[in-house]
Amino acid sequence: MNDSHFSRTWLRALAAPLPEGLATPLETARFELSAFFPAPEAPEIRLQEDMGESYRIERTEGRPRLIGGRTGVLYGAYALILASAGGCPVPQGTSAPFYPLRVLSCWDNMDGSVERGYSGNSLWFEGGHVRFDKARIRQLGRMLASAGINVVCVNNVNVHFPAQELIGAQLDETAALAAEFRPFGVRLMLSVDFSMPLSCGVGTADPLDENVQRWWSERARRVWEAVPDFAGFMVKADSEHRPGPSAYGRTHAEGANMLARAIAPYGGALIWRAFVYDCMQDWRDTATDRGKAAYELYKPLDGLFDDNVILQVKHGPFDFQVREPVSPLLLGMPRTRLALEVQLAQEYTGQQKDLYAMPPLWREILDTVGKDRIEAFTAVSNLGRDAAWTGHPFAALNLFAFGFYAWDPDSAPERVMRLWARLTYHLKPGEEDTLVSWLLRSRSIYEKYTSNLGLGWMVTPNTHYGPNPWGYEFQSWGTYNRADRNGVGVDRTRAGTDYVSQYPQELKRLYEEPLTCPENLLLFFHRLKYTYVMADGRMLIQRLYDDHFDGCREAEEMAKALLALPLPPEDSEQVEARMRLQLENAREWRDVTNTFFHRLSGIDDARGRKIYE
């Protein structure tokens, strides 16, 4: 772990390796403060149990005083350290997390692979077992705690054999992993297989069956016996061929509540994923709209979930595209506890080769939804065994920033990015501005050269990297652009699939008309002719071409600017290699997409740039 080729991410200033044997967040806090600050400056630290995760920093005559709860002391310690390392004033007053559950969801399989992972294999699974480098897990605990993340769901929501055994025959392995995270205030969560009682001799997984209920209660008892601070279960049910309550004619509320009741005695949370749709849709069927599925399924269940059920909703109605409107479910379940789910793993957004800083995306979502409508914040992890932790060293920003947004959803993108940049690299002010300004633009650039105007989904099937405009067009996944020689886009207004009616009146009115619909969602909500004239006078087809040319050119400028930055050697090689891939990808997207629309429309670029045949 002290290998010099590992990226130190935003913890570059914390040079001291974490020792073994730290037992509590308080001990960790003491170690970190004493290792970072010279003895005379080391803050005084005081535990006040009832403060829980929060902390207060008081400015005394000499050194600051930190008072905090069991984990609050550690968050406070990192707040002091990061402020100091980042050259910021010592924070003062009380800080408490806005969301009590700040969950990192890791799609790690027990064979060591990571579904949609772009940073190497799992940090804790290998060969069907929990296996990890203790020093590396300690460093990870440090990363998570310093960013404020307090729950890690360690296995894939698609529960592949033998991950069921993490609450069964291999529960001791689960406990061993939990013990490593404990000194960092990080609690373990597991994804569970709804049908597990079936393979364990119960003969059914019907949530209304008493034997099933008893089986899960007994299972929960054993789990909390082994891991007393266990956080709860995450469930992907009735989704993409996963088993679920529908097999028994039960509702998702019945399914979720059954599990929730089994874990309620231990204070466990039951996170039920709302990512449910018909993945066997017939492309011929233009009336069915995948975007409507979750709302249609869950809206009638609002108010029927138990108190410890949290319905976890992806930010958009589809699946982590570069641009989607917010999921109407986030706005339509006032009597249900909701978690917002985002994806740090850049499945559709560049796979940690292409730069894509997410805070601007989250800012938009939170502003649209309102931070109070949700009670938990979950992010699909972008971590792996790579030396850089997140593949692209800059992708660590998203992990860091996620923790910050989950702690304080009012965060401003630029402020978080600047703090991350300052902690990670020691750049001159002008250089830091360069880095931050490109990070701020990176999403918009990616959007322009991939699928702009809300189109989405023009990706290579399966891998989800690189362009393939009709790769999913005649498939069963419900993701169509319906392009033809005249126009493109799906009509989701009342005249079309009427998806738009799932929104509250105000948003509905906004999206319903092409003239008021935000341009970046135009083709998400509307089907338009290539000759449609946009607000600035450009034809739609021209805007498609222009964005692709612009996005690619901006990616080139960005690469040039960022590759000129003086980065530490363990990061610079990775950054260079990945940015080269981004440029190849950007050119491929530009040319394929422009060629696609030119073949269909027959309309030439007004500016005479090269569009291939």
Q: Nearer to its own copies by C-beta: 199 or 286?
A: 286
In whole angstroms, how close is the CB of 485 to its own copies at the nearest point? 5
Q: Nearer to its own copies by C-beta: 199 or 531?
A: 531
The catalytically annotated residue of 32, 319, 324, 354 is 319
Answer yes or no: are the C-beta atoms of 610 and 598 closer than 8 Å: no
Look at phi and psi of residue 87 and say left if phi exceeds 0, alpha if psi is from -120 to 50, else beta: left
Q: Nearer to its own copies by C-beta: 368 or 460?
A: 460
Pairing of strands 338-343, 376-380: parallel
Q: Nearer to its own copies by C-beta: 158 or 475?
A: 475
Answer yes or no: are the C-beta atoms of 524 and 489 closer than 8 Å: yes
d(CA 103, CA 376) in angstroms, rounded, equals: 8
Answer yes or no: are the C-beta atoms of 382 and 390 closer than 8 Å: yes
473 is catalytic: no
The catalytically annotated residue of 341, 347, 431, 571 is 347
Q: Residue 64 corresponds to which tokens in the numbers above?
A: 């600051």
d(CA 288, CA 381) in angstroms, rounded, equals: 31
In whole angstroms, how close is the CB of 447 to its own copies at the nearest point? 20
Q: Nearer to its own copies by C-beta: 288 or 572?
A: 288
Taking residue 201's Cβ as centre, other Cβ atoms within 10 Å add up to: 8
Distance of CA 15 to the CA centre of its chain: 28
In whole angstroms, how close is the CB of 604 to its own copies at the nearest point? 13
d(CA 59, CA 80) in angstroms, rounded, equals: 12
CA distance to 78, 134, 183, 388, per residue, from 140 (Å): 14, 10, 12, 12
Q: Nearer to its own copies by C-beta: 369 or 611?
A: 611
Q: Nearer to its own copies by C-beta: 181 or 477?
A: 477
61 is catalytic: no
In whole angstroms, how close is the CB of 88 to its own copies at the nearest point? 48
Which positions lie near its own copies, rule CB under 8 A?
Answer: 283-284, 286, 461-462, 467-471, 474, 482-486, 588, 591-592, 595-596, 598-602, 612-613
The catalytically annotated residue of 240, 410, 576, 604 is 240
In whole angstroms, how close is the CB of 590 to its own copies at the nearest point? 11
Residues 6+ apart with CB under 8 A from 60: 44
Residues 6+ apart with CB under 8 A from 352: 118, 119, 345, 346, 382, 390, 391, 392, 395, 578
d(CA 54, CA 75) in angstroms, rounded, equals: 8
In whole angstroms, how close is the CB of 311 to its own copies at the nearest point? 34
| CB-based burial label for 162 (10 Å; 0-12, 13-18, 19+) | middle
Largest CA distance in the chain: 74
Q: Nearer to its own copies by C-beta: 462 or 505?
A: 462
In whole angstroms, how close is the CB of 597 to its own copies at the nearest point? 11
Q: Which residue has tokens 């009380």?
A: 94
| CB-based burial label for 241 (10 Å; 0-12, 13-18, 19+) | exposed
240 is catalytic: yes
In whole angstroms, how close is the CB of 259 to its own copies at the nearest point? 36
* Residues known to be catalytic: 240, 319, 347
